[in-house]
Each structure stands twice: as structure tokens, then as C-alpha cells.
Chains A and B, each alone.
Chain A
Amino acid sequence: MAVAFDEMNGLGEDLRPAYQELSRWLKETPPDALEYRRQEAELLFRRIGITFAVYGDSEAQERLIPFDVIPRIMSATEWTLLEKGLKQRVLALNMFLKDIYHGRDILRANIIPEDLIFQNPVFRPEMNGQDVPHDIYVHIAGIDIIRTDPDNFIVLEDNARTPSGVSYMLENREIMMRLFPDLFARHRVAPVERYPDELLSALRSVAPHSASAEPTVALMTPGVYNSAYYEHSFLADKLGIELVEGRDLIVKNDEVFMRTTEGLKRVDVIYRRVDDDFLDPLTFRPDSALGVPGLMSAYAAGNITLANAVGTGIADDKAIYSYMPDIVKFYLSEEPILKNVQTWRCREPQDLSYVLDNLADLVVKEVHGSGGYGMLIGPAATKATIEAFRDKLKREPEGFIAQPTLALSTCPTCTDKGLAPRHVDLRPFVLTGSSHTTIVPGGLTRVALKEGSLVVNSSQGGGTKDTWILSE
């Protein structure tokens, strides 16, 4: 693979302006001082208890996500462009969802094949014709962005269900400010700390009509065994709202209440970090012990707002992803600012045959997969793995899409052998309330710590970095 674009050094040795101060600082700082602070950072994370669980890995039921102390930096100009693109994308996602569950103009215009919607397991017929406050479905979006050159931001994935990672954005900054006050003093880094306030006001702005003037918001978690539990409790704490589980909630006369030491208390907005399937055993999976019986009926009655709405999976499905540029154009009559990765839809015979012929060069993903599981990275795979995947593809082509292996941009990262470039992506968090859309300047930079690796997922050995957006 060709040398990737480096966030600090560009394509060669041309130091990019946003990194000038960092580069100078790195030259002044002895390596062991850096190592010492790296260890200190790890100790802090462990004590705070920021861990995540990896499913199927009983040895390390709670692991620490590795944190890299070298920040990833973006200039204000870069951020302005990215921000504009993100707002455009999320606006289109929300309009698409409203359309899919109401008029379906986009299907009648033959932009997206019908079966891709109606036969999709994440499409929720329960949502047909149901109105949601202010027509907002995706209140919190995490859009995964990659770069291959200085000029373009490319969306790798839209996360419109229950995107996680924002606690790392906040904690990484907290720890960086504690460990590197000198480095901050030399930069003008836009703060991220108002994220919880923005989130709370977005959530309150979408309360149902039947709510009181001071709506009650709660965060719903599947519980302590969920891999993102730390984040759930962290956010509930920062927002000053109750962290509830299904068993804490009860539905009476189509209203939702939480059980408190002073009796039942009405809840108006639920920021739920529970998947659709587990929300209400009466509507979805009857075996779910996590949900609240009757929740969907209260939802239909308009007495509770769920954020994100039910059924948003249809917008971030990998099969729909390839249509996103068309979706943006259809609803907004604008050119998409953020690019898509070129995508072959294996459900289409022509694309499938191309994919089968070029498996060794492509990345093949399950349409419904996430977390980097069940995907084939052609250039890194053995012959046997590729052949096994070929069989899977032939058996169920509609279950897969394929993309070229991209040279994700790199960023200098601490390794055993000193600083070295490692591939990164970026997940900014887009908040949509009744009156406006906000993006706190920054996001979660994930870094593939293994040399040459392109998989940044924390479940597969990825780490994180603090993300700095410089002010003008």
C-alpha cells in the first residue's frame, strides 16, 4: 500500500500548520518524560474505572481502552468544513427517516429499491405513520469520518442508533489537561466540556406535549454488564439525570414512570442506550428481560420521547449507506459535502462478480454487522479465509457490501519504538434538538495501535486519542 497521508506530516516531510507547535514541543520533550506521563495517564484511567467489556472474552471482562497521549489536531478551517458536512448529513438522515415511515417519496422516486427497506430486519413497521416530536429521529448521531488526503472528509459509517464513545472524548480531554498543561498553554484548543449541557437541552427540547414545563429525562441502560456501561453512568452523572434500567420503569395508562423511594415519578424523555429489540417485550423480543412492558404503547400514545427514535437503524444500515449521496441530493437538493467510500453492493450481480474477482484487494463487511466483527480485510487475510468468505458471499450476497482498502490517514502515536504513524479515524457527535443542530468541536479519534492495522475498533485492539480543534 502506498504511504498514507499523515495528519502531521502530510504526504512527505511538509509539517502541516496545525501541528507546528506540537512538533516543536515534541522535540523539546525528552522521550522518558513522555513515557512517564503515558504511564500516569494509564493509572488515572484505571482508577477512574473507565473500562469496557469485550463480549466473549471472559479473561478480560473489563479492559482498559489504550489511550495515546499524542493529540490529533485539526485547524479551524478543516473543522468548519467538516461541521457543515456533518450537519447536512444528519439533516438528510432525519428527513429520510420521516419519509420512510410516512410518505415514502424516495421509494416512489425509485432512488432506493423497496425491498431494501421492507425486507430489512431493522425496518420497524411499528413506526409507520407515527409522528415523533419535531420530526427528529436521530437526536444523537456518531458519524465515522476518515481521510485519505488533506482535501476530503469521507464518511465510513453513519451511527444513528445508540452511538457510543463520547465519554472518551470528554475524559481524554480531562486527562490531557491534567497531564499536559504546558502543551495546552501553547495552543488554543476549543473546549468540549459543554457537551453534556448541549445534550441535555437537546433532549429536553423534544419532550412530548403532555410533559410538564420541566420535563424529566432519564438515561436507560441495559445494565452493568453492557460493554458501554461506564459511559452510561458517566453521562447520567454529567447530565444530572437518573440512570435507569428496564426494571426501574413501569407503564401505567400509557405513561412511563420510574420507581423511586418516594413512589412513582413520571418520565418524559428517555435517552435510551438499549437496542430497539430489547425496549419492550410486548412488541419486540418477548424474551428480553431488559425492556419495559408497554413502553411502545406509551410511545405510540405520544407520552414519551425515545432518543434516538425507534427504527433509526434503517438509516445507518450498511446496505443503505451506499445510497447516502443520493439521499442528501434528494431531500436537500445540494451536493453532499462529505464523500462516501466507494461501495459495491453485493446484492447487485454486476457488483458481486467484481467483488468475487477482487476479494484479495477489498474490505467486505456484513450489512448488519458492527464493531469490526465479521468483516474481511482482503490484503491482510490468508487464502483460506478469503475462500471461506467467497462461499459466504455466494450463499448470501445481499448480506454484504464491499469497499476498497483505504489508506486511512495516520497520526504520530507512541509505540514501543518511539513515535510512529498509526492509522486513525474520527467520530464526531452530532446533536439535534428542536431548534438547532450542534456539534461540540472535536470527537473521538480512534487509532489502530498495531503497525499497519486499519481496524480502529476498541474491541479489536484499537486505542483513542484526544482530538483538538484549534481556534482561529
Chain B
Amino acid sequence: MLSRTAENLFWLARYVERAEYLARTIDATLRVTALPAAYIGKTNEWDSALLTAGVGAAFYDHYEEANERNVVEYLSFASENPSSIKNCIEAARLNSRSVRTALTSEMWDTINSSWIELQAVWNKGPANREELAKFLRFVQETSLRFDGSAYRTMLRNDAYWFSRLGVHLERADNTARILDVKYHMLLPEEEHVGGPLDYYQWTSILRSVSATTAYHWVYRETLKPWLIADLLILNDTLPRSLASCYSNLVRNLDQIGVAYGRQGAAQRHARGIRNRLEHSHMDDIFQHGVHEFIQEFLADNSRLGEIVAKQYLI
């Protein structure tokens, strides 16, 4: 297939995944900030939302204060934020138009009708909390429909695999970021990790990766930070964990390699990361430092994006 087509499919999937992640982040933050101050400590949750979205610095070029109104606006609708939900959906639609021939009609329909709804209904942004909740649901449903229609209707060929690469690369990035921010940067030094104050912080991490119920099913325990880290990093059964993303990335890259009769740097690099995740234990990660571990992972992950681009997309 054309390199540009593969690139468009890859980014299309990333944009949709990112939009959903942003919607989840906002949703989870709204819940935490609704709690009495005594339950959430001194941290500014909206700052933390910006950090997990990776737009902490750029935000302050446009706003003075990280409060609900500003952050929701910036993450959802701001045109000046290249990865706002609105821009993600618009970019997804533009990419879809460029690769119309590689999409099934169901996938096109999902993106196109979401884009139409964005223009028609959400043009001015939500007027109140209730509408905001509706908007966030709309974004999450778009992503679910998109994923579902890709899964159910696409031929299992390179077009599908490149689109899946986009999903899993983006998802791994998102999960790693949220874990990093919540785990390292927001917990005050003197606070005992796992202390009563940050119980709701942990819930909010799980909520933003839709793993609250999953946690209880897997561990049958009350919330414990190291178990949450274990779930999000090493547990292959959780679809948003780093381990699961990498099982998928390795598989998709292998499928491409087999179809093209050639393996390359992308396959080797992805396998390297997967092996490291497979052979890690939470104890070692703690020893090494969770923050350091995640920073390395983020660099490795974005390096994979570059290698895939060089090998296939340019």
C-alpha cells in the first residue's frame, strides 16, 4: 500500500485514541475535584490533567490559571491546542478523507458522523456540567464505535495492522504518562505513598484507563499503589497496560513482516521493549524508580514511532 495511506491510517487511529483518552482524563478529574478538599490534598488536579495530556507548558501561553473552565476548554475545544479533542476529531476526519479507499464504510461513517455532530452540536462547547458529561460520552462512544467497526469490518491486511499500530502506540504513551504524573509528580514527598489522602487519586488513575472494576477482579484487594502500577505496567490481561500494548505491537509488526516477507528495525525494537516488560518485576521497578522506568519507556515508545515511520511510512 502507499506509504502515505499507511501513515494516514496510523495517525487516524492515534487521533481517535487520544481524543478518547483526553475525554477520560477530564471525566476522571471532574470526579476527583468534586470531592471535599480534605479528600484530595493540596494538589491542583487540573494541573495534573494538563501534565498527563502532555500540554502543561503550552497551556500557560494562553491562560493564567489552571482551573476547570480553562483546562476543559483547552483540552476539549481550543483550536490553539493541536491535540485538543476537537482538533483530534478534525484531524481524524481529514486523515479519513485522505484514505477513504482504505477505510470500510462503517469506519468512515463513524468518523464522518462524529465530525458532523461536532460541528452541529458542539460548535459552541457545552453550556454546563450536564452537557459536558454528554460531550465526553460522545467522544468515548466515537472511539468505541471506531474501534469496533475497524475490528468487525476491516480486512486483516496491512491497512488493519498499521491502524492497530497507531492505537497501541498511542495507548501505551497515554497509560505511561498518567501513571508517571500521578505516581511521581503529584504525590507530595512527605505523604506516605498509599496513605488515606490519595485513595481517590488512585481511583482516578484507574478510572481514566477504565480499569476500576478490572483492578478488583484481578487483585481482590483494596487499592494499593504498587498493585496499580503492576496492573498498568505489567499485567498483560489489561488492554491498556504497557505489557498488553506491547504484545499487540509485536504481533501487528510481525504480521506486517510476514506479509511483506521482511523484518526490520521496528520488529526488533518492539520485541526488545516487550521482552523487558515480560521479564520485569514490580520490586525491581520500584528499586530502579518508577519515574525513571516510565521515562525510559516513554522514550523507547516514541523511538518505536520514529522507526516505524522510517521503515514504512516515508
A→B interface (CB under 8 Å): 46-49, 223-224, 229, 233-234, 236-237, 242-245, 247-248, 258-262
Write out the residue numbers on chain B whose beta carbons fall within 8 Å of the beta carbon of A260.
1-3
Judged by a CB distance under 8 angstroms, whether B77 is at the interface is no
A236 touches B158 (CB 8 A): no
A261 touches B6 (CB 8 A): yes
Task: Return the 9 tightest CB-CB contacts between A and B, nearest first.
Answer: A233-B100, A237-B101, A261-B312, A259-B3, A224-B97, A261-B6, A49-B112, A236-B101, A262-B260
Judged by a CB distance under 8 angstroms, whether B300 is at the interface is no
Write out the residue numbers on chain B whose beta carbons fall within 8 Å of the beta carbon of A259.
2-4, 314
From B1, B101, B109, B112, contact of A233 by CB (8 A): B101
Known: A224-B94, A233-B100, A237-B101. A258 touches B113 (CB 8 A): no
Q: How far is the CB of A276 from chain B (nearest CB, A)?
A: 23
B109 touches A244 (CB 8 A): no
Contact indicator per residue, chain B 79-116, by CB within 8 Å of chain A (1) or not (0): 00000000000000010011011000100110011001
Q: How far is the CB of A253 from chain B (nearest CB, A)?
A: 21
Q: How far is the CB of B202 from chain A (nearest CB, A)?
A: 42
Judged by a CB distance under 8 angstroms, whether B313 is at the interface is yes
Write out the residue numbers on chain B whose beta carbons fall within 8 Å of the beta carbon of A243.
2, 100-101
Q: Interface residues of B, CB < 8 Å — how many?
A: 24
Q: How far is the CB of B13 from chain A (nearest CB, A)?
A: 15
Write out the residue numbers on chain A whose beta carbons fall within 8 Å of the beta carbon of B112.
47, 49
Write out the residue numbers on chain A whose beta carbons fall within 8 Å of the beta carbon of B100.
49, 233-234, 237, 243
- Please report the C-alpha to C-alpha distance between residue A234 and residue B108 in the assembled complex, in whole angstroms: 13
Write out the residue numbers on chain A whose beta carbons fall within 8 Å of the beta carbon of B2.
242-244, 248, 258-261
* Smallest CB gap from B116: residue in A: A46
The total of Cβ contacts below 8 Å across the A-B interface reads 52
From B98, B105, B260, contact of A224 by CB (8 A): B98
Question: Which applies to chain A's interface (DSSP): helix, strand, loop or mixed?
Answer: mixed
Q: How far is the CB of A15 from chain B (nearest CB, A)?
A: 40
Q: How far is the CB of A258 from chain B (nearest CB, A)?
A: 6
A261 touches B1 (CB 8 A): yes
- Please report the C-alpha to C-alpha distance between residue A47 and residue B6 in the assembled complex, in whole angstroms: 24
- Please report the C-alpha to C-alpha distance between residue A261 and residue B2 in the assembled complex, in whole angstroms: 6
* Smallest CB gap from A259: residue in B: B3
- Please report the C-alpha to C-alpha distance between residue A261 and residue B100 in the assembled complex, in whole angstroms: 18
From B3, B113, B158, B162, contact of A47 by CB (8 A): B113
Q: How far is the CB of A101 from chain B (nearest CB, A)?
A: 33
Contact sample, A vs B, 26 pairs, CB 8 Å cutoff: A47-B109, A47-B112, A48-B105, A49-B97, A49-B108, A49-B112, A229-B97, A233-B100, A234-B100, A236-B101, A237-B100, A242-B2, A243-B2, A243-B100, A243-B101, A244-B2, A245-B4, A247-B4, A248-B2, A260-B3, A261-B2, A261-B3, A261-B6, A261-B256, A261-B260, A261-B312
Q: How far is the CB of B89 from chain A (nearest CB, A)?
A: 15
Q: How far is the CB of B264 from chain A (nearest CB, A)?
A: 11
- Please report the C-alpha to C-alpha distance between residue A248 and residue B5 in the assembled complex, in whole angstroms: 10
* B267-287 with Cβ < 8 A to chain A: none
- Please report the C-alpha to C-alpha distance between residue A261 and residue B259 in the assembled complex, in whole angstroms: 11
* Smallest CB gap from B161: residue in A: A261
* B123-165 with Cβ < 8 A to chain A: 158, 162
Write out the residue numbers on chain A whose beta carbons fall within 8 Å of the beta carbon of B1.
242, 260-261
* Smallest CB gap from B113: residue in A: A47
Contact indicator per residue, chain B 273-314, by CB within 8 Å of chain A (1) or not (0): 000000000000000000000000000000000000000111
* Smallest CB gap from B108: residue in A: A49
- Please report the C-alpha to C-alpha distance between residue A244 and residue B4 in the assembled complex, in whole angstroms: 9
* Smallest CB gap from B6: residue in A: A261
Write out the residue numbers on chain B whose beta carbons fall within 8 Å of the beta carbon of A229.
97
Write out the residue numbers on chain A whose beta carbons fall within 8 Å of the beta carbon of B4.
245, 247-248, 259
| Beyond A47-B112, A234-B100, 16 extra complex contacts between A and B, CB < 8 Å | A47-B109, A49-B112, A224-B97, A233-B97, A242-B1, A245-B4, A248-B3, A248-B4, A259-B2, A260-B1, A260-B3, A261-B6, A261-B158, A261-B260, A261-B312, A261-B313
* Smallest CB gap from B95: residue in A: A224
